Amino acid sequence: MKNILIINSGSSSLKFQLIEMPSEKVLASGLVERIGQASGKIHYKSEAFSTSEEMEIKDHSVALKEVTKHLMHNDHGVIHDPADIPAIGHRVVHGGASFSDTVVIDEKVKQKIEQLFSLAPLHNPPNLKGIQVAEEIFPHATQVAVFDTAFHQTIPTCASKYAIPNELFEKKKIQMYGFHGTSHKYVSEKANEYLQKDHSKIITVHLGNGCSMTAVKDGKSIDHTLGFGPVNGLIMGTRSGDIDQSVIFYLIEQLGYTAKEVSDLLHHKSGMLGLTGYSDLRDIEDQAEKGNKECQLALEMNAYRIKKYIGAYAAAMNGLDAVVFTAGIGENSDVIRKLVCTDMDYLGLSLDEEKNSVRSKEMRNIGKEESKVKILVIPTNEELEIAKQTISFV
């Protein structure tokens, strides 16, 4: 048995799981949030112990050191020494054209991840920081990078290439790369197990603060809503999703925005936040229920965009066996699922509202018995998928 530590480092958070492989037993898990703020919080859970502590978490180094203290605690720890962790798997959002598979991290890999900062400004910088901190605290562990973009390497050129001059594709590698690949891979494999079909046509819908959808045919990604960077496609917490390029030119040429200000607007100030003033869907649903028209419209817009892509991907695959909802919103928001699945009988989706309203952490089918297309809710487990890929390097 090998203990694999999984680190998912965000701009102000650090998620972790310590997984015993190949048994897949989670020894400890948790989250450090509000890193860099005075009111930081550490959530830690193991089989015999759990705690939530408030303290100032100055940076990611402090965060991982606090996690390590719990992992090795005399009373409730699950390991005795940093050497008990032979490998650490890191989620890295953008691998560009450089990485089509999981890799052991060295200086060249870190340099490449840094070169891709501009393509994933919200994600790659903290991803690299998490790697650097882990190297400091666990110097003897093999550090492994698992890229969100890797699962989408199977997307055919007719779908991944943009209609811009060929030299930008050939020399500058400007194309669709896709994201959330670890999640889409995990839940599509679970859906295939459920369907028990040799050939399947599945649409996976990953809805969190960041959102994306993937058309998965026979286990392979063939199209995806995110592209060169993680800002297009669906409406997200603070990201705009699809937008007419002319709007960008208008903002710069007519309204005096700089390119940096437009990037900040589309990444940080748009999406559900721009539409409602809230980025957390729970707040938006609560306000919508109280009659807030902006929040009601934002929910309709959000669901409408998802429905459009379901139709597009059903066409791209020439059929549809299942739609899978996953991630924080996909797994927990019966409101969004209902809005998406309403009036979709032409495509074979028939939602059972009673099943849809039940909260569960288990995989489940929320469609009616007669629904031609299965409507599945599958909790994602990116950490386990990263652990499976990391263990192969130990």
Binding residues for Mg(2+): 8, 382
Contact (CB, 8 A) for 154 and 147: no
- State the pTM of this model: 0.86
**Which pLDDT value is given to residue 8?**
86
Active-site residue, 75 included = no
Give the residue, 137 or 222, on which the prediction is more confident.
Answer: 222
Mean local confidence (pLDDT), 105-120:
88
pLDDT(48) > 90: no
Helix ranges (H only) for the chain are 60-71, 107-115, 124-137, 157-160, 166-170, 181-195, 245-253, 259-268, 271-276, 281-289, 293-317, 327-332, 334-341, 353-356, 382-391
187 CB contacts (<8 Å, ≥6 apart)? 204, 206, 324, 326, 378, 380
Which backbone phi and psi does 251 adopt, to 5 degrees?
A: -60, -40
Tens of pLDDT, residues 265-285: 999 999 999 999 998 899 999
Distance CA 136, CA 131 (A): 9
pLDDT reading at 222 higher than 90: yes
Least confident segment among 3-17, 135-149, 239-253: 3-17
- Confidence category of residue 323, pLDDT binned at 50, 70, 90: very high
DSSP string, 175-224: S---S-HHHHHHHHHHHHHHHT-SS-EEEEEEESSSEEEEEEETTEEEEE
Instruction: Show the tokens assigned to 220.
Output: 């392979």
Greatest Cα pair distance in the chain: 63
CATH code: domain 195-377 is 3.30.420.40
Q: Indicate the pairing of strand 220-224 with strand 211-217.
A: antiparallel
Superfamily of domain 2-147: ATPase, nucleotide binding domain (3.30.420.40)
pLDDT of residue 36: 81
Residue 307, phi then psi, degrees to nearest 5: -60, -40
The arithmetic mean of pLDDT across residues 232-248, rounded, is 95
In the annotated binding site for substrate, the residues are 91
Among candidate residues 148, 223, 321, 334, the one labeled active-site is 148
Task: State what percent of residues in the chain have pLDDT above 70.
Answer: 100
Q: Specify which residues 90 forms β-bridges with.
A: 7, 145
Identify the three-state secondary structure at position 136. helix
Detail the residues annotated as belonging to a binding site.
8, 15, 91, 206-210, 280-282, 328-332, 382
Token pair 């991803």: residue: 127
Of 32-46, 51-65, 314-328, which has the strongest mean pLDDT? 314-328
Average predicted confidence (pLDDT) for the chain: 92
Q: Using DSSP bridges, classify how beta strands 40-46 and 25-33 pair: parallel, antiparallel or unpaired.
A: antiparallel
Res 382 pLDDT > 90: no
Give the mean model confidence (pLDDT) for residues 294-320.
97
What integer is the mean pLDDT of 213-217? 97
pLDDT band at 104 (very low <50, low <70, confident <90, very high): very high
Specify the amino acid at residue 298: A
Average pLDDT over residues 213-230: 94
Predicted confidence at residue 61, as pLDDT, reads 85
Phi first, then psi: give them for residue 342, nearest 5 degrees.
-75, 140
pLDDT band, residue 44 (cuts 50/70/90): very high
Distance between CA atoms of residues 364 and 345, nearest Å: 20
Cβ neighbours, 10 Å, residue 334: 18
For the chain, give every residue range classified as CATH 3.30.420.40.
Answer: 2-147, 195-377
Residues shown for the chain:
394
The DSSP secondary-structure symbol of 6 reads E
pLDDT recorded at residue 168 = 95
What CA–CA distance (Å, rounded) separates 357 from 72? 41
3-state secondary structure of 77: coil
How many whole angstroms separate alpha carbon 31 and alpha carbon 266?
27
| Least confident interval from 43-47, 248-252, 288-292, 311-315 | 43-47
159-206 pLDDT, tens digit per residue, is: 999 999 999 999 888 999 998 998 999 999 999 999 998 799 999 999
> pLDDT grade, residue 120 (50/70/90)?
confident
